[in-house]
Structure 1
Amino acid sequence: MKFGIFIDLQLPKPWSQGAESKLFNEALEQVELADRLGIDYVWVQEHHFLDEYCHSSAPEAFLGACTQRTKRIRLGHGIVVMNPNFNHPARIAERLSTLDILSGGRLEWGTGESGSRIELEGFGVDFIDKRPMWEEALRETAKMMSMNPYPGFRGKYFSMPHRNVIPKPVQKPHPPIWSACSNRDSLKLAAQLGVGALTFAFVNSEEARFWVNEYYQTFKKECQPIGQAVNPQVAMLSGFMCHEDHDTALKLGQEGAQFFAFGLGHYWRDGTHIPGRTNLWEEFKKRPSSTDKEIERQRKKAGMRGIGNPEYLIENFRALEDAGVDQLILLQQCGNYRHEDICRSMELFAKEVLPQFKKREIEREVKRNEKLAPYIAQALQNIPELSMMNEIPPIEAYPLMWKKNGGEAQQTTPDRRPGMTAYWQMQVGGKRTKK
C-alpha cells in the first residue's frame, strides 16, 4: 500500500495578520519533508469560499511551487473542479500539461464536480447539472491533451472551435485520472469510467474491503473509459497523528480530525453560513456533548484509526492493506494542528511505520499489475478511436478577416479622439497608416 498526504489548508479563526502566508509556507515545508521521507503522493484540494475549512482555492499554483521543491513525490490534484463555470476545459488541459512538464512527469489528475451550495451557486452551477458537466468536460479535456490539433466541440455545457491546446504533457496520453468519490455509487462510476477512486469518505477496513472488491469487479466487467487511458486504483483517506505515546497522539490529533468532520457537515449537510462572518471554529467548540460523542464514535470507527502510536497505526493500516486499498491518504494537517507536531508525526511515521509497508508494496504492485493486465487491455479496446481532422481550416487574424469581408463597409463609428483613428483603423479595419 502506498501513502499520500492531504493539503486542505485549514485555518480556524481568529485570523491574525500573516496567518494565511504562514499556513501556505508551512504546508510547502510539509510537502518537501514528505518527499524526503519517501511518502509517495501529495494531494491538494480545490475549494472556494469555504472559510476556515479550506483555503486551497488555487491548487495549480500551490502544485507549481511543489514542482520546484520536490524530486520524487507524485503531485496530485485532489481534486481539480471540472465544471466549465469554475475552470474552462482548455485551461485545465494547459495547466495540467504545464505542471506535468515542470514536475518531470509526476502529476496525478484528480477530478471532481464540487458539491456545496456555496461553491456551486457562487459559480452559477445548478446542482443537477454538476455530474453531466463533469463528464463532458473530463472527456474533452483528455482529448485536448492527446490530439494535435483538438478538433473542437459543441456540447451542452461548453463549446469551442478547433485549436491545438499546448503544451502537451510528459505522460502520454495524459496524466493518470482519478475521481473524487464520497459513496459507493460514485466509486462504482469511477470503475465504469476507468479512473482511480479518491474516496474522501472515512471507512473502516471491513467497509474498505467491500468497496475495493466492488470497484475492481466493476472495472473488470463494465469499464468504458472516459479518458484515453485507464487508472484502476482505490485511494482512501485517514485521520493522522503519530506519536511515541498513544495518549499524546490522541490529545494532539483528535480535535483536528473532529473539526475536519464538523466542517464537512457544516458546508455539505446541515450548516447555515454567513460568508465572512460565521466563526466555524467557535461553533465547533460550542457543539453539544452529545454531538461530540457521536463524532468521536464515528471517527474512532474509521478516521481516528490513523491517530496513535506506531504500533497502533501499523495494525490498523495493515488491515486496510489486507482489504486491498492501493493508497492511504493521511490527513496530516487540520484544525489547529501545530506545524512542529505535524513534522514530528511525519518523521516518526517514516521511521517506524512506512518501512513495514514499503517492501511488500513493491512485490504487491508487480502481482497486482500481472492480474489486472488482461482487464486493462480489454478496457483499452473500449476507448473510441480519436477522430482526427483530415483538413484543418486556417484561422485568419482579425484584420485579414475583416478585409476579406468588406473591411470599411463593416466599420462602426471610429474613435475621434486625436491619434486614435489610425489605431482604430488598424485594429478594426485591417488598415495600417504608412510611415
Structure 2
Amino acid sequence: MKFGIFYEHQLPRPWKEGDELKLFQDALDQVELADKLGIDHAWEVEHHFLEEYSHSSAPEVFLAACSQRTKNIRLGHGINLMPPPYNHPARVAERIATLDLVSNGRVEWGTGESSALAELGGFNIPVADKRPMWREAVEQCANMMAMDPYPGFEGKYFSMPCRNVVPKPVQRPHPPLWVACSNRETIKLAARLGIGALTFAFVDASEAKQWVDDYYRIFKEECVPIGHAVNPNIAMVTGFSVHQDAEEAKRRGMDGFRFFGYGLGHHYIFGEHKPGRTNIWEAFEAARDTMPEEGGNRGIGTPDQMRDHLRGFQEAGVDQVTFIQQGGRNRHEHICEALELFASDVMPEFKEKEAERQKRKDEELAPYVEKAMARKERMKELADDEIPTIVALGRQIAEEGKKTG
C-alpha cells in the first residue's frame, strides 16, 4: 500500500495573532518531514468560508510551496472544486500544469464539487447543478491540458472560444485524475469514468472491501474515461496518532480526530453558522462527553495497533491510506513524532512489496484499460484551416480608425 497525509488546515477558535501563520508553516514542515520519511502523497483540500474546519482556500499556493521543500512526495489536490463559479476550467488547467512543472511532475489532480452551503451559496452555485457542473468542467479541463489547441466549447455551465491553454503539464496527457467520494454511489461513478476514488468516508475493513470490489468490477466492465488517461486507484482516509503507549496516543490525537468529524458535521450536516461569530470548538467541547472514544480501529494507538488496522485495508485491496493527522488542536511536535514512529516501526512492512503489488495490478488491468480507452469519447481536433485567427486589439482599433477616418 501507499500512504498519504491529508490537510484541511483546521484552526479552532479562539484565534490569536500569528495562529494562521504558525498553522501553515507547521504544515510545510510536516510535509517536508513526510517526504524525507518516504510518505508517498500529501493531499490538500480546497474549501471556502468553512471557519475553524478548513482554512485552505488556495491549495495551489500551499502545494507550490511544498514542491520547493520536497523531492519525491506526490502533491495532491484533495480536491480542486470544479464547478465554474469556483474556478474557471481554463484557470484550473493552467494552475495544475504550472504546479506540475514547478514540482517536476508530481501532481495528483483531485476534483470535486462540495456540498457545504457556505461554499455553494457564497459562489451562487445551485445544489442541483453542482454535479453536472463538476462533470462538464472536469472533462473540458482534461481536454485543455491534452489538446493543442483546445477547440473551444459551448456548454451549459461555461463557454469559451478556441485557445491553446498553456503551459502543458509534465505528466501527459494530464496528471492522474481523482474525485472525492463520500459514499458507494460516487465510488461507482469514479469507476465508470476511469478516475481514482478519494474516499472521505470512515469505513472499516469489511466495508472497504465492498467498496473496492464494486470499484474494480465496474472499472473492468463499464469504464468510459472522462479524461485522456485512466487512474484506477482507491485511497481511504483514517485517523492518525501513533505512540508506544496507547493511552498517550489517544491523549495526543483523539480529540483532533473527533473535532475533524464534528467540524465536518457542523458545516455539512447539522450546524447553524453565523459568519465570523459562531464558535465551533466551544460547541464541540460541550458535546465532547457524548462522543465515542476512538482508538486503534481509527488509526489511533500503538505501532502494533496501527499495523493491524492497516492490514485490514491492505487485505481489502485499498491502494492508499491517507492520514488525518492535523485536526483540531493536535500539536505540531506530536504529529512529527508520530510520523517518525510510523515510518520506522510500521511502514516498512507495507512498503516492502509495494512495487511488486503495483506491477501485478498493472498487468492485470492492462487489457481492461485498453478496452476502456477504446470507448473514450474524444473531442474533435481542429484542422489547421479551422483554427480561428485572433486579431490583436490594437490592430483592430487601428483598422477601425482607418475605416472611419
Normalising by structure 1, we get a TM-score of: 0.91
Kindly provide the CA deviation profile for residues 366-393 of structure 1, in whole angstroms up to 9, marking residues without a partner as x: 1111111111111111112441111211
Cα pair 1:4 1:329 within 8 Å, conserved: yes
Report the equivalent of 2:340. Answer: 347
In structure 2, give the amino acid aligned to 1:122: G
Aligned pair count reads 403
- Aligned twin of 2:146: 146
Structure 2: state its 5+ residue gaps. Answer: none
> Does the residue aligned with 2:35 lie in a helix, a strand or coil?
helix
From 343, 361, 373, the equivalent of 1:380 is: 373
Structure 1 residues not aligned, in runs of 5+:
410-428, 430-435
- Find the counterpart in structure 2 of residue 9 from structure 1: 9
Alignment-derived partner of residue 359 in structure 1: 352
Q: Distance in 2 between matches of 1:326 and 1:162?
A: 38
Where does residue 188 of structure 1 map in the other structure? Answer: 188
Deviations 1:182-211 (A, max 9, x none): 001111000000000000110000000000
Among 303, 306, 313, the alignment partner of 1:310 is 303
Task: Give the Cα–Cα distance (whole angstroms) in 1 for the partners of residues 241 and 361 of structure 2.
Answer: 30
Q: Matches of residues 26-425 of structure 1 in structure 2 within 5 Å? A: 26-287=26-287, 289-290=289-290, 292-293=291-292, 296=293, 299=294, 304-390=297-383, 391=385, 392-405=387-400, 409=404
Q: Distance in 2 between matches of 1:246 and 1:376?
A: 44
- Give the letter for the 2:63 counterpart: L
Q: Which secondary structure state, in structure 1, belongs to the residue aligned with residue 180 of structure 2? A: strand
Per-residue CA deviations over 1:393-421 (Å, capped at 9, x if unaligned) read: 11011232244456675xxxxxxxxxxxx
| Mapped partners of 2:12, 2:332: distance in 1 | 14
AA aligned to 1:307 is: I
**Using the alignment, how far apart are the partners of 1:82 and 1:407 within structure 2?**
44
CA deviation string 1:35-94 (max 9, x = no partner) = 000000000000000111000100000011011110000000000000110000000000
- 1:215 Cα deviation from its structure 2 partner: 0.4
- In the other structure, the counterpart of 1:23 is 23
Quote the Cα distance in structure 2 between the aligned partners of 1:101 and 1:56: 22
Instruction: Answer whether contact 2:253 2:325 (CA < 8 A) is retained.
Output: no
Q: State the distance in 2 between where 1:265 and 1:5 align.
A: 21
1:254–1:304: 8 Å Cα contact kept in structure 2? no
Residue 304 of structure 1 deviates from its aligned partner by 4.8
Would the aligned equivalents of 1:44 and 1:77 in 2 still touch at CA under 8 Å? yes
Match of residue 418 from structure 1: none
* Preserved CA contact (<8 Å) 1:240 1:304: no
CA radius of gyration, larger in: 1
Q: Deviations over 1:238-290 (max 9, x none)?
A: 00000011111011111111100001110110100000100110010011743
**The residue matched to 1:79 in structure 2 has which SS?**
strand
- Partners of 1:344 and 1:52 in 2: CA distance: 24
SS at match of 1:276: coil
Q: Where do 4+ consecutive residues of structure 1 move more than 6 Å? A: none
Secondary structure of the structure 2 residue equivalent to 1:375? helix
Equivalent residue letter for 1:334: G
Query: What per-residue deviation string (whole Å, max 9, x for no partner) do you get for residues 210-254 of structure 1?
Result: 000000001011101100110000000000000011111011111
Q: Deviations over 1:312-344 (max 9, x none)?
A: 000110111000000000011100001000000
Distance 1:214 1:142 in 2: 25
Inter-partner Cα distance in structure 2 for 1:403 and 1:395: 15
Bigger shift: residues 366-375 or 133-142:
366-375
| Contact residue 297 and residue 309 of structure 2 kept, 8 A | no
Residues in 1 aligned to 2:288 and 2:307: alpha-carbon distance in whole angstroms: 33
What amino acid is the match of 2:104?
G
